[in-house]
Every structure is written in C-alpha cells, then in structure tokens.
Structure 1
Amino acid sequence: MFIAYAVVAALLALALAASAFLTFTRNPQVTGNMTKLGVPESWLPWLGTAKAAGALGLLAGLVVPALGAAAAVGLVLYFLGAFVSHVRAKDHAVAPVVVLTLLSGAALILRLASA
C-alpha cells in the first residue's frame, strides 16, 4: 500500500504544485475561472498557499504518516469547498474538481492503510 500512496501522493503533489504556481503568478485562466466562481482576487494567495501546503504535506507523508494523512484530509476539504463553489456558481465544469477530490481521498485511504 505504501508504494501506491507514494505514486498517488507524488502525482497529486505535482498537480498541486503546478496549480499553486499558476495561482501565485495570477495566470489569466486561473484568475478568470476564480472570477467566474465569485472568488475575490484577494483570496488567491491563500488558495495558492493551501495548494502548496497540501503538496508539501503529501510528500512529507512519505516519511511522517500523520502529516500525509492530515494533508490528504485538508485537500479533501479544500476540493469539496471548490466543488460547492462550482455548484453555487452554476458552473458545470466540475470534472477536474471531482477527480482531484477523489485522488485526495485515495491518498488518505492509502496513507492510513499503509501506516
């Protein structure tokens, strides 16, 4: 189970790091999507920080299982919030959010199963 966690955590951390970078640099596609969802621009640094912390936490979970589990819980909650934001804005492009939520849940289950 540890190898499965390592693979899922590494891939998810890579995706989160890229997303955090795009959020910090205020990529027009990211800021456009956030505006469409009604997210204030002042929230972008906080959201980018949450993504970066999640990525680091998943990777730290390779050494400290509790950190990996905590990061995965945080990411599940983060992406559930993103899903709610999409639904409230009547934006039906939720597939990426659903996939990231499921991957975060898989990381949590695999981390707990391999501890």
Structure 2
Amino acid sequence: MITGRTSVFASYVTINILASVFTAITAVTYLINHPFPRSQMEMKRLPLSWMPRLGAALAAGSLGLLAGFAVPALGTLTSLCLVLYFVGAFIAHMRVGSRNLVGWAVFFVTTVATLVVNVAYHGLW
C-alpha cells in the first residue's frame, strides 16, 4: 500500500526530474543561439548578449535540481531561484505587452511545483 510519505517522495522525484529536463532543454536552446529564444529576446527588447547568461542560469538550475537529491537545501534553493527567474520572464513579457504566456505558464507552474514538493518532502531547510 502506498503511504502519504511514499506518494510525496514519488511526486518529489518525478517533478524535480521533469523540471530539470525542461530547464536543460531550454538552456541548450539559449546556449546554441537557437532562433526561437533569439526571437523571444528580440520581442521582449532584451539584449541578445544576455542569451548565454540566461542559458547558463537555466543550466545551473537544471543541475541544481538534480544535485538537490544529494543536498536537499540546494534543491529547494534552486527551485526558488527558478521560480524567481520565471517571475522575471513574466515581467519581461508584461513590459512589452506580450500576452503569449502559454510557454511561460508551463515553466512557471513546473518550477512552482518543484518548490512545493521540495518543501513538502524536506521542509524549509
């Protein structure tokens, strides 16, 4: 029989891996200068010179979520940082009047879910 703790653990592992994969794929698109993130940067009137930095931040987030399995506080902190990253992305969308928020919402909800399951499984620290 599955207990509450087992189900929280399963959610914790699944959501952290899913978020790590999402952010890793996005990091690669930024780091290889793929046309989609480049067009998003231009639409939001952000300097293209930020693309490698944003890609590196996402890559660090992806690795941080995985490292959180060994160092729980790191996983919780990383998930919080990713939530803040996507809050910044939302602000960038709103600044230019963009209402195309489906992709943003998927990432934001996923990162909020990682924060929730990290706190639920490990506590705050």
Q: Same fold (TM over 0.5)?
A: yes
Look up the match of 1:35: 42
> Secondary structure of 1:21's partner?
helix
2: CA distance, partners of 1:66 / 1:53: 15
Shift of 1:109: 1.2
Under a length normalisation based on structure 1, what TM-score does the superposition of the two structures give? 0.95
The higher radius of gyration belongs to 2
Runs of 4+ in 1 over 4 A off after TM superposition: none
Of 68-77 and 1-10, deviating more is 1-10
Give 1:21 shift. 0.5
- 2:121 is the counterpart of 1:114: yes
Normalising by structure 2, what TM-score?
Answer: 0.88
Structure 2, unmatched stretches of 5+, are: 1-7
CA RMSD of aligned residues (A): 0.9
Unaligned runs of 5+ in 1: none
- Aligned residue in 1 for 2:95: 88
Matched, 1:50 2:50: no
Shift of 1:105: 1.2
Query: Please, which of 81, 106, 109 is the counterpart of residue 74 of structure 1?
Result: 81
Q: Write the distance in 1 (CA, Å) between the matches of 2:22 and 2:103.
A: 11
Partner AA of 1:60 in structure 2: A
Rounded to whole Å, the distance in 2 between the matches of 1:109 and 1:29 is: 30
SS for the counterpart of 2:50 is: helix
1:2, 1:111 within 8 Å by CA — same for their partners in 2?
A: no
Q: Displacement, 1:71?
A: 0.5
Identity of aligned residues (%): 37
1:2, distance to aligned residue in structure 2 (A): 2.0
